[in-house]
Chains A and B, each alone.
Chain A
Amino acid sequence: ETGVTQSPTHLIKTRGQQVTLRCSSQSGHNTVSWYQQALGQGPQFIFQYYREEENGRGNFPPRFSGLQFPNYSSELNVNALELDDSALYLCASSLGATEQYFGPGTRLTVT
């Protein structure tokens, strides 16, 4: 059984640029959630996708957007990057509303 994988591991971008982060869900899981973890804080919910549809969104601006594909993998897109977007971005997969299993994360640095 393959766990949740994320790419890339690390990324450095310049303020104003756009970034796409990718996530492959655990085999058999149809739900993907994205979280942002700032240094010293707990993960903050960005949004969730269930069967390719957005299924809930946290308190993040519209420049944070996402997609889920038919194979349940997912992308997180962030436009017009700001310095405060520097964080660890975590993807978690689950089978519906059950325990969520996290990937290793993508460390994004915005300069």
Chain B
Amino acid sequence: DQQVKQNSPSLSVQEGRISILNCDYTNSMFDYFLWYKKYPAEGPTFLISISSIKDKNEDGRFTVFLNKSAKHLSLHIVPSQPGDSAVYFCAASAVGNQGGKLIFGQGTELSVKP
């Protein structure tokens, strides 16, 4: 029962262009969503989050969009840089349920080519 799904295992983008990473969820109790970036041999690094009361949150080159009716969120990276190459995980939480347990997707490996 995969409650959070990232259907694209990999994505390749040219430097300077937009990277769009997608995530779908099934549990309507989720009310907080996060994106993490992971380099090999390191733990996930928090990137950006969004509460279910918003539909967009922006932080520098990173923007997360949330479509509650479609149970879909996306991470936009503009412009993409070679240093953005990593595995990206989306995660969801039902804050009222167990205080922030995160349910992760399987990850999307982003490769940004110079």
User: Which residue numbers of A lie inside 8 Å of B, CB to CB?
Assistant: 4, 6, 31, 33, 35, 40-45, 48, 50, 55-56, 58, 90, 92, 94, 96-105
In-complex Cβ contact of A97 among B41, B46, B100 (8 A)? B100
B100 and A42 contacting across the interface, CB-CB below 8 Å: no
Sample (27) of A-B pairs whose CB atoms are under 8 Å apart: A33-B100, A41-B106, A42-B6, A42-B89, A42-B104, A43-B102, A43-B104, A44-B104, A45-B102, A48-B98, A50-B99, A55-B99, A56-B101, A90-B43, A92-B102, A96-B100, A97-B95, A97-B100, A98-B100, A99-B34, A99-B46, A99-B49, A100-B46, A102-B45, A104-B41, A104-B42, A105-B43
Most A Cβ at <10 Å: residue of B4, B34, B91, B102: B102
Q: How far is the CA of A82 from the CA of B107 in the complex (A)?
A: 25
B86 within 8 A of A: no
Size band of the B side of the interface?
Answer: 20 to 34
In-complex Cβ contact of A56 among B6, B42, B46, B98 (8 A)? B98
Q: How far is the CB of A107 from chain B (nearest CB, A)?
A: 9
Q: How far is the CA of A101 from the CA of B102 in the complex (A)?
A: 12
In-complex Cβ contact of B43 among A98, A99, A103 (8 A)? A103
Most A Cβ at <10 Å: residue of B36, B93, B100, B106: B100
A55 and B89 contacting across the interface, CB-CB below 8 Å: no
B46: A residues at CB distance < 8 A:
99-102
A40: B residues at CB distance < 8 A:
106
Q: How far is the CA of A67 from the CA of B93 in the complex (A)?
A: 23
A98: B residues at CB distance < 8 A:
100
Q: How far is the CA of A33 from the CA of B105 in the complex (A)?
A: 17
